[in-house]
Amino acid sequence: MNRRGILIVVSGFAGSGKGTIMNELLKQYDNYALSISATTRKPRGQEVNGKEYFFKTTEEFEKMIAQGELIEYANYVGNYYGTPKAYVEEQLNSGKDVILEIEIQGALKVKEKFPDTLLLFVTPPSAAILKERLVGRGTETMDVVEQRMRRAAEEAEGLASYDYILINDDLQTCVLQMHNIIQSEHYRTSRNREFMCQIKDELNGNVKGE
């Protein structure tokens, strides 16, 4: 069967551990490509331009919007974030499952544009653990931690728009669950219309040829 790449959106509260899950998924399996977003947020800790993000000025980002270079973009806690189109298209065409690690406004825009996008949401087991992880990360001021907790409460309102929810309690279990969900998606009838037509034609031909 000819496998086309699936477009997957992974969202999760800041501090849900989705970044670590993505790293593990890419390390353990070779059929995934992770899209690198553009953002106007400043690099954090060891982040490198072109690896975690393409870091842009507001003017540069607005130029990308104007030139139609982004699949979607959103404003998150005062900064722009967006998904460059070219890489995603190239990887999907080559048969890779492409993952966008983006927040909910972007997720819903992508789903509207490409209805067969698979939407996954990663959450820690509780709000207390989420806060603990955000504070423990030590890269944000308490002000930003509070902003992100408020944002998480807003995002929780949209959970039902996602296809699957993954509770990140144990990292390896979560990575395996994500991989299994994505692989199962390939067998959905709606993703295999071409094969279904082909086998129907073959069977009809067989009946006529009898």
Residue type, 60: E
Least distance to ligand 5GP, CB of residue 82, Å: 5
Three-state secondary structure call for residue 59: helix
Q: Which is nearer to ligand 5GP, 5 or 12 (CB)?
A: 12
Helices (H) and strands (E) in the chain, counts: 8, 9
Q: Which is nearer to ligand 5GP, 56 or 96 (CB)?
A: 56
Angle 18-28/171-185 helices, nearest 10 degrees?
70
Least distance to ligand 5GP, CB of residue 102, Å: 3
Q: Which phi and psi angles does 34 have, rounded to 5°?
A: -100, 125
Residue numbers at the binding site for ligand 5GP (CB under 6 A)? 14, 37, 41, 72, 74, 76, 81-83, 101-103, 105-106
Instruction: State the residue number with the nearest CB to ligand 5GP.
Output: 106
State the pairing for strand pair 118-123/97-101: unpaired
Q: Which is nearer to ligand 5GP, 6 or 10 (CB)?
A: 10
Least distance to ligand 5GP, CB of residue 84, Å: 8
Q: Which is nearer to ligand 5GP, 83 or 123 (CB)?
A: 83
25 in Cβ contact with 17 (< 8 Å) = no
